[in-house]
Structure 1
């Protein structure tokens, strides 16, 4: 997130870091990403860390309310810890307490600093880099680690209840109404695909292995942001990759299902649509994050309209 979290001081973050044994000598808010808040940390011994603060009231993929989101986030971060312990060096897992409560709204995870070049969402992977990511995913999908199951069906956009009076509420409501038929058709298409995909075997997946969650280190890619980890068909990850997935087929002996790839390429905008709708129905301000969400909301509906 570009803006700092509401009512959360650096001292609160510093105190929580101390519970993981990190004496933060330097704490610098990092205006990056979308969804979570981040700090660059340097401890008293000069070692660098990266702290992430999650707003548990805005973590719907982890749980619909504060307590279930905390439980879901802890389950997902626990998966990352176990993967790292299993020898997957590309997994950037939290240290100390994987998810520590800061207060009744926020929770913190702290990670070792990864030296390298971070990617960004929307960046196009080269064919060679796509093959490297396929290699990581082949290893991930073959690792037997307990994890929560990811439901196939995305939540529907809840447009029937009352809307607030936030600056984007009425615009969002009208735009969603204009696309009612498009959304209905896409959800019907999704239901047909889901009937096929539910019969396929599941593996441990990351959920969002796009360039924005990749860091190019000197010894290869590192994969961050494991809060979406869980059991699903491999295509949940593969649907985000370019190319023909030949390297993945070579390593696993498995040909990705066209139906599962289509389902997960459709599921992403349907999930985004529901989350943006919830955002604009609730009280909100006109800030950089909300403005970005409004642009993404329009882009999501346009993508669903064009298929």
Structure 2
């Protein structure tokens, strides 16, 4: 995130790093990524770490339990996958008590990672053919790995869809969350019918998916969560890890039949392009639901809000245009 988290005491953050045996002499904010907050910590002896602070109020819906328990499950799963020999998993380091994260107050959760080096990308960036092949092979290895006991299930249905349905229902009135509340309301109201069509389409197509074997998936293996290092690609940000269909990962990476054939050669399972497209639709609907929900809550007009607004408008435009194209084609 570009904006620092409001209400977080960085002195308390520095103190909590002692749970990992880190006596930080420097703690520098790193305005990277979108969703969590990051710092680079260093101690007097020279080692450096990548510190992540998650705002639990901003985490998406979980199947059961709290946002904290859901995040802890995910971090524990990443640790277990690393211990099972998946060297591309950038997993959190354990505290002296063996914890993968520690709470900082009631709202934030802290995890500490090794600081890895390599080239990082951005969401939507195209990978070179060789890089893409390496990521497909990495995902095939992940999907063939036995699931740790802590692995959460990530159902095909959209946990946040009720937030979008509620926003559509409420789009006839005024929204007061902040500077983007009324523009978000107008955006939803202006295309409410087409958004409902996409929700209905998702439900119809999801009902047709039957009896597929679930595998361990990362959930968001796009270039923004990759570190392209000399020894091969590394995967970061494991908070979305979970048991799901392999297409949950593959739609973000595979680009054509050669990638799918490579995956099939390794795993013995040929991905279904229709299910990949269904996950693409799922991603867009969930993004709209979460962004709109954020704009109905108290928010400011900082860089992160502007980025979220641009992402929301682009995603809604894409969903609406696909409905228009389908009608034209029909």
TM bucket by the smaller chain? Answer: over 0.9
Give 1:80's aligned residue.
Answer: 78
Deviations 1:269-290 (A, max 9, x none): 1000110111111111111111
Pick the aligned partner of 2:207 from 164, 174, 195: 195
Q: Give per-residue Cα distances to partners, 1:83-119, cap 9 Å, x unaligned.
A: 0000000000000121110111111000001011112
Instruction: Report which stretch shifted further, 294-303 or 55-64.
Output: 55-64
Conserved? CA contact 1:63–1:70, under 8 Å: no
Instruction: For 1:65-144, list aligned pairs within 5 A.
Output: 68-96=66-94, 97-144=99-146
> Residues of 2 paired with 1:272 and 1:54: CA distance?
18
Instruction: List gaps (5 residues or longer) in structure 2.
Output: 323-330
Shift of 1:306: 2.4
State whether residues 63 and 69 of structure 1, in contact with CA within 8 Å, keep that contact through their aligned partners in structure 2. Answer: no
- Cα distance, 1:163 vs structure 2: 2.7
Conservation of the 8 A alpha-carbon contact between 1:62 and 1:227: no
Unaligned 5+ residue runs, structure 1?
none
Structure 1 position 298 matched with structure 2 position 327: no
Q: TM-score, structure 2 length as denominator?
A: 0.89
Q: What's the Cα RMSD here?
A: 1.5
* TM-score, scaled relative to structure 1: 0.95
Whole-Å separation in 1 of the counterparts to 2:275 and 2:208: 8
Q: CA–CA distance in 2 between the matches of 1:284 and 1:165? A: 6
Equivalences for residues 3-82 of structure 1 within 5 A? 3-62=3-62, 68-82=66-80
Indicate the residue corresponding to 2:296 in structure 1: 281
Tell me, in whole angstroms, the C-alpha distance in 1 between the residues paired with 2:304 and 2:254.
28
Tell me the alpha carbon deviations over residues 158-192 of structure 1, each in whole angstroms, 9 at most, x when there is no partner: 21347324111111111111111221111111112
Report SS of the residue matched to 1:197: coil
CA distance in 1, matches of 2:243, 2:208: 17
- Is 1:184 the counterpart of 2:186 in the alignment? no
